Structure 1
């Protein structure tokens, strides 16, 4: 039996076992159990653009409430990775707040301007187009929802892997406030403030502010600067006007400034220039650049909800966002200027969404129009100081996108429902790219005449796509639901902003969108007096024209390509469960399996000028085959208040960092965390002790791989790019201990 057949059989067997087990358990209950209001808390989500019970939504979605995240001391959204199946959420390489996101093998690890993500990030229904500043801090938040699988019908392009919704706290008109201070390892010093009040009986205002600071986990040995430190401020203001009984307007504005040092990588091999050996600590590094780094993101939105009548609701979401990044990244992480990359990114976007919602006893519909206008610009230099050469890239991408969408659900009977939907999108892009080679070391502010112009072109392209969705849902009873669905999604095409037309004559040609067709079947069940919840899904995706960014070291520079791989297949399953063993003790578990493989990859080799199929050499990046989490929570009531202890073990199997195997690839690892939180009897005070990465596990998340040439035995036989063997890794946080104290008034 070949591997693919075995994996499909394993998936089928797992789902069949879970289905039969749930069916037997639910059937064993009497009808009184189905009507019992005790048990696990009902979870409301807006995955389909309307408020629904999590257990009735035919979508693989996980929701985390503010209380869930506070209880385990969650700092930012990347920590959700441990508790989600088949999901990667990580800080990207050299900065502190750029996000790398993958779901079910689909994402985008290259944060260069103009490239599109595969996982959509939303703040209160506003799409965040760029990964810079997308590592969102958890504060003043109501919940975070993570939707897995293509969401193109309701959420549009660039959600072919899934979507994450960051939902901020509602304004209620009550006068209240919250202050929380945290101290911890590495001189952690955090302060979070939030509050709201009513200025009149129909106009409410609120605000939140956080300053988050921490010393570095290591240092730059040759300069004494901190490495992996944190220096971030973020804030949000909001206002709500109930203009009438049927019309509500909400205004929101936010800004985040991250002044943390740029991150230095850990060299996995000795330096070819100085013969410096790898340091003892993976958080120590060297640099030939200033560690200056700034990431600023800000935006504002106005949302109008208008209840036209008892059945129809109109919604308008108008938003503007912009971002700025100025950073210095030393790729080779030595005191020598072998491979330095200073960079500046700027982007802005305007979005307008108009929704019309209809709801009746047996039919629900949401549809509307969406408009996006955005510009992403940047410039970066590849400074090969030892070789006396600098290659500089710059340019802008302007994007205009319009879409019309609709999705309706009709209840055929009390048990059967069918959902049909679709979205038509028109994308228009124009881009200009300039790439030049300079003699000597040229920094971004320096004036110099180029030795050679490698690229200087303008190009434009447009694409249109219809993304359909269909699903059927069967409610066996009030505690058991089955569903099956088909979803289509696409990630927008674009232009390689690193294009070198002198090395690749086709580099100026735009690359096409990538497309995913996903078939999914799932079950959602609650049983044992609603003390246990188990949701499971199996999926199969046909991944076409996949975009893969490849960079190869060539003489005096780096040759970049964005490839549309011919075909890939992704299949797997996910199981999420929680079991309240008693009123005070609960256990939760998740497990995800994904088998992702390239079927064909057309790779243009700039050295041979030939197109090769390298599918047998490539594997999916940032996609471990197995991911799992086991957690436990126990409450201890006392006369002094309630104490809640929680802990979890999070496992990820072997992970390949890039599509091509390298020394950076990470073996399987397990992380352990534990927390104890106290809540006062009056509900005003709380305190939490949180230990993360309890056993101080060392694990690699990302890196740069510009390795020197090697023979068949792995021995270095020549100089690498810039004269250095650049194999540099970036790592997850070591063990940390923190104490938080909060007060509500």
Structure 2
């Protein structure tokens, strides 16, 4: 086995023979050389090629030329970025960089990728699908950014900047139509109010298309199922987002600028429908089916859990069965930010960024993808369910300057953040009438769980560049962060007195989860109330009384110093190279620890997970060559993780399953990222990106839930009562698994050519992207199954006409032209049901867009 120090040495020495990291620019029409790209990856404006950071940057114009309409499209063109248009069965944002992100999107979890819109941190996944509307630039910073951007950037950061108001009246409009009844529209107007002193800018947008997944009711459903479940017919995987932005810019003085920015976004669309695939070749899976099929599922539905999954799979990728209503994902986000930029002197600048953000969201999750009322969760059921509502406030101060005749550049600052979620309750109903073949007996398992979270954080940071001469620079930086996190979990069970409209429902002697309805199934009241559970622990001082564990509050605080060091050497005019920049960077970062919403099966108490810490070692080389007709940027990195946060499956004392966050003690990721742009002729641009990764989990201890065999429970396992019988909770070593969302290799190729005519320019463009062995599982058997380990390929093309005055643009486009379909997510539950819920990528899409500037 190769040791980790040797791996580092091999990769870093290899960097000496390769080149460096960067961007995928596009070229202005007829341009003879690549333009300089300005980035703010280090809190100040500087040339991309001079920045010792692995960063890809795009202007608003290049986003249009590449056909990138929202943040999820970055997956195609940026090395090691995986950003889907939803997570699980919801439309929440879920970004991964270099295999780092967060599968869990609850209010008590944070992502390892920081998303910033106009320097404002987007802390929650609701509203994190950012549409590219009136965008000035997008920058993707890969690797931990713990010094300048703080905690929760162990994977990297994505920086969005919108266009600022200007002193001339103008604007632009765009309409895009396509198959699946797609219609997108944007409108931006820039209005000067008081000369060149007070200016405004307004944008509106809408993006909408029908879904490509349809739920239907098969003709041959068993009679029991028809009477048991309200099967739902309708559309899934649609898109319906709209919003706007209003900005004011006041040039209060020659050296003082104030920007006030209000941003609104709303999502109101269906959930993401899942196919269901049977996985029966992994020993020990399907404990829920083993427990419930004989006494509950078969008597109530006429078929087993696996039979129902197979029914769904037989319908095909884009047809499903579903029963949980309403079919919905909703989010609404309001953000208000004030930026004050004061140029104190020619070499000293002060900036203040104040922001308030409110995010509300809720969804319906049919987790099992089976079509019967087995595993689901909803924020819209009434009777206590409510959408989550998070309010956050942040304040950042920055002081940027130069000293010692520009030999020293520095930035120092302070950041404060507070966030509170005061709503957010979901019910998880599972209902089967006819259990044990008794018509009026129901297996009913449900709860109402509410999470309230408070997060407070404060930090100070500083980073300085010392330029020894025109070529050598050393950068040192550090950040101190303190944070406090608090979670309150409220747990309620059904109110038996309210379960039947006739008031005569009662708990069966069999178990608390078996309910008798003497007046018949039609008396079930889905809008019943919820109450505090009764403590059933025989030795507990509160035995027979309301369970004190129903309302739990835990608080923790932590502090961390995250340093970084970089040394770089620039080159001018060496051979065919016009400019070069070689750098070595060592950077530290951490991802917040926290408090889980799952409880220990024995104690019933909520637990916690540790912070994730990372050290990243990176060598890069950036080069412009051949009279700036070639740009070649490469980074080689090795990232060492301690207590990496990974998602697994846990079971509650009452037998419900839920995703949980636990720590893998030791893991690492290494890779090489190469980006190249070349102009072989004045009108031809070729772009190529190549990435190779290797990741390994060295120590990852977990628990797996299994059925108890006839021979009895194994000594290392613990028995758990679920309400329908006992299962075994067994320790498992998962250190041989693939890291999630980390492809083995990534390839991107694109070519565009500009034809100049008397009637304007015509620009055809074709692009191809390919990712290999991308893993999207989280429970142990799902990772073993191979269902979620796929290759992903996309072939797209665009044909654009620009008017001679460049005011009009018309583009025909096609995406996924080969109609390649692959798994891009879902809800892995192979351990639980021997089934895998899978969501698939968009089929072939095509359309036309027209834009006008004035």
The yes-or-no answer on 1:643 pairing with 2:762 is: yes
The yes-or-no answer on 1:381 pairing with 2:415 is: no
Q: Indicate conservation of the 8 Å contact 2:312/2:370, yes or no.
A: no
- What SS is found at the alignment partner of 1:268? strand
Post-superposition offset of 1:643: 0.9
Shift of the 265–544 alpha-carbon distance from structure 1 to 2, 3 Å rule, reads: same
The yes-or-no answer on 1:189 pairing with 2:183 is: yes
Aligned to 1:260: 269
Task: Tell me, in whole angstroms, the C-alpha distance in 1 between the residues paired with 2:262 and 2:488.
Answer: 32
Per-residue CA distance 1:645-701 (angstroms, 9 max, x = gap): 111110100121124313531322321011011110111110011100010010111
Aligned to 2:639: 541
- What SS is found at the alignment partner of 1:107? coil
Aligned to 1:219: 214
- What SS is found at the alignment partner of 2:63? helix
Shift of the 616–643 alpha-carbon distance from structure 1 to 2, 3 Å rule, reads: same
Q: Which runs of 5+ in 2 are unaligned?
A: 21-30, 218-231, 279-303, 380-386, 433-442, 495-512, 516-523, 535-546, 573-577, 707-716, 719-728
Shift of the 326–92 alpha-carbon distance from structure 1 to 2, 3 Å rule, reads: same
Aligned to 2:582: 482
Q: Indicate conservation of the 8 Å contact 2:339/2:354, yes or no.
A: yes
Higher-Rg structure is 2
- What SS is found at the alignment partner of 1:71? helix
Q: Indicate conservation of the 8 Å contact 1:491/1:515, yes or no.
A: yes
1:232-251 aligned within 5 A: 232-251=241-260
Aligned to 1:458: 553
Task: Tell me, in whole angstroms, the C-alpha distance in 2 between the residues paired with 1:15 and 1:570.
Answer: 16
The yes-or-no answer on 1:397 pairing with 2:443 is: no
State the TM-score, normalized to the length of structure 2: 0.80
Shift of the 329–10 alpha-carbon distance from structure 1 to 2, 3 Å rule, reads: same
Q: Pick from 413, 430, 434 the counterpart of residue 368 of structure 1.
A: 413
State the TM-score, normalized to the length of structure 1: 0.91
Count of aligned pairs between the two proteins: 713
Shift of the 206–566 alpha-carbon distance from structure 1 to 2, 3 Å rule, reads: same
Q: Indicate conservation of the 8 Å contact 1:504/1:606, yes or no.
A: no
Aligned to 1:744: 853
Q: Pick from 305, 325, 330 the counterpart of residue 294 of structure 1.
A: 330
Q: Indicate conservation of the 8 Å contact 1:700/1:730, yes or no.
A: yes
Post-superposition offset of 1:316: 0.4
Post-superposition offset of 1:434: 2.4
- What SS is found at the alignment partner of 1:40? coil
Shift of the 435–326 alpha-carbon distance from structure 1 to 2, 3 Å rule, reads: same
- What SS is found at the alignment partner of 2:681? coil
Post-superposition offset of 1:393: 2.2
Task: Tell me, in whole angstroms, the C-alpha distance in 2 between the residues paired with 1:317 and 1:440.
Answer: 56
- What SS is found at the alignment partner of 1:186? coil
Aligned to 1:572: 671
Q: Pick from 463, 471, 478 the counterpart of residue 566 of structure 2.
A: 471
Shift of the 224–510 alpha-carbon distance from structure 1 to 2, 3 Å rule, reads: closer
Task: Tell me, in whole angstroms, the C-alpha distance in 2 between the residues paired with 1:446 and 1:134.
Answer: 34
Post-superposition offset of 1:476: 2.3
Aligned to 1:284: 319
Task: Tell me, in whole angstroms, the C-alpha distance in 2 between the residues paired with 1:570 and 1:434.
Answer: 38
Aligned to 1:339: 375
Post-superposition offset of 1:80: 0.9
- What SS is found at the alignment partner of 2:74? helix
Task: Tell me, in whole angstroms, the C-alpha distance in 1 between the residues paired with 2:734 and 2:306.
Answer: 32
Aligned to 2:282: none
Aligned to 1:352: 395
Q: Indicate conservation of the 8 Å contact 1:541/1:571, yes or no.
A: yes
Q: Indicate conservation of the 8 Å contact 1:72/1:690, yes or no.
A: no
Post-superposition offset of 1:219: 1.3
The yes-or-no answer on 1:164 pairing with 2:155 is: no
RMSD: 2.4
The yes-or-no answer on 1:57 pairing with 2:51 is: yes
Q: Indicate conservation of the 8 Å contact 1:381/1:444, yes or no.
A: no
Aligned to 1:675: 798
Q: Indicate conservation of the 8 Å contact 1:331/1:726, yes or no.
A: no
Q: Which runs of 5+ in 1 are unaligned?
A: 21-36, 710-719
Q: Indicate conservation of the 8 Å contact 1:179/1:742, yes or no.
A: yes
Q: Indicate conservation of the 8 Å contact 2:705/2:730, yes or no.
A: no
